[in-house]
Structure 1
């Protein structure tokens, strides 16, 4: 949360009606950035932002090149988990060879529990109900890693991602391996995740990297 150096950026937030997207948009607005909510249903927005009313899959290069950064906070409905990979592939296609940086709200399931052999969603104890989403998000990350001429950062929260949790104004930044605190906990609130996302946008670091945050 240090070395902030960029203010007044133009940022589009896809999925600003969602739990993560809403808080990220609010955090960026509070920091003085120009935020546009990219949504299908503007009536569900909790904040007063400029709006680009359009389905993610209908977006084109001309829609997104006015922005410095696009935050992808899209969350596929249960039963349509394949949309995670499809959405990333679409965004990568329309943003390649542009100046726009893509910041992705990732999943904890794609984090490794060991030295890049086993991801969290591949462990025996991983809840079956969450596996389709986590596997689809891991596949979307692989698509990003294989993309060319695209600026992207994939930010995974801790496995215990707490909506409504406290805003502590702190976090620990890590790589693509699961971290835990001194008590063995691996958690972060949505509020502090939003702070981390805003910091990474402003610091312009970790291009083409998968990173993570915990308390």
Structure 2
């Protein structure tokens, strides 16, 4: 299996690359600057400059682009660009998503974003950008996309336990009643989805056990 990880130098991207390489997959890191990953192959190119030729031949492309504050809109703009490039192909697109659009009630009327009070403006911009990306994907019919939401608490330096639970549009809680997952366990979930292709044109969510 051939996988490309876009924005592979980010915290999530590096761990997704590492997980995929350790499983023996053929991984290409797509980065804007010097490669910081363990990928066997590297393409130095800005996300928004990627073309159909650049991504031809990959089984899966992972959109791991993150942004902050005034640049938060790059999150959904990157997803829009990649869906445009991959439209009509068999290459699957897996998007590293956000938790803000997860529902917090059984009636699916309130989301994490709806309940957010006192969030810094810069953080709110990121949450809204992720939600925008998902809303856009839900309108796409000619790309084999999957959007993977982490838990509400996404721990960059959390331990790799090797275990996680998978859900859908509603926020899950672990055995301790918390919505939390480490970047390392999230990377496992992303690569599992890359290998299985079990949730095409769906949003899934993951939480620790």
2:148 corresponds to 1:155: yes
From 96, 99, 108, the counterpart of 2:90: 99
The farther-off stretch of 86-95 and 20-29 is: 86-95
Q: CA offset at residue 58 of structure 1?
A: 0.5
* Distance in structure 1 (CA, Å) of the matches to 2:49 and 2:156: 29
Q: CA offset at residue 118 of structure 1?
A: 2.0
* Distance in structure 1 (CA, Å) of the matches to 2:160 and 2:92: 26
Q: CA RMSD in A?
A: 1.3
- CA separation of 1:116 and 1:126: change in aligned 2, threshold 3 A: farther
- Residue pair 2:6, 2:47 contacting (<8 A) in 1 also: yes
2:207 corresponds to 1:198: no
* Distance in structure 1 (CA, Å) of the matches to 2:207 and 2:170: 11
Counterpart of 2:19? 27
2:4 corresponds to 1:12: yes
* Distance in structure 2 (CA, Å) of the matches to 1:48 and 1:145: 31
1:91-144, Cα deviation, whole Å (9 max, x unpaired)? 111101001000010011121112332221121436234211111110111111
Which ranges of structure 2 fall in alignment gaps of 5 or more residues?
Answer: none
* Distance in structure 2 (CA, Å) of the matches to 1:126 and 1:45: 35
* Distance in structure 2 (CA, Å) of the matches to 1:207 and 1:63: 22
TM-score (norm 1): 0.92
Alignment of 1:122-141 (within 5 A): 122-125=114-117, 127-129=119-121, 130-141=123-134
Q: CA offset at residue 47 of structure 1?
A: 1.9
* Distance in structure 2 (CA, Å) of the matches to 1:124 and 1:189: 21
Counterpart of 1:40? 32
Q: Secondary structure at the match of 1:108?
A: coil
Which ranges of structure 1 fall in alignment gaps of 5 or more residues?
Answer: 1-8
Q: CA offset at residue 155 of structure 1?
A: 0.5
* Distance in structure 1 (CA, Å) of the matches to 2:82 and 2:64: 12
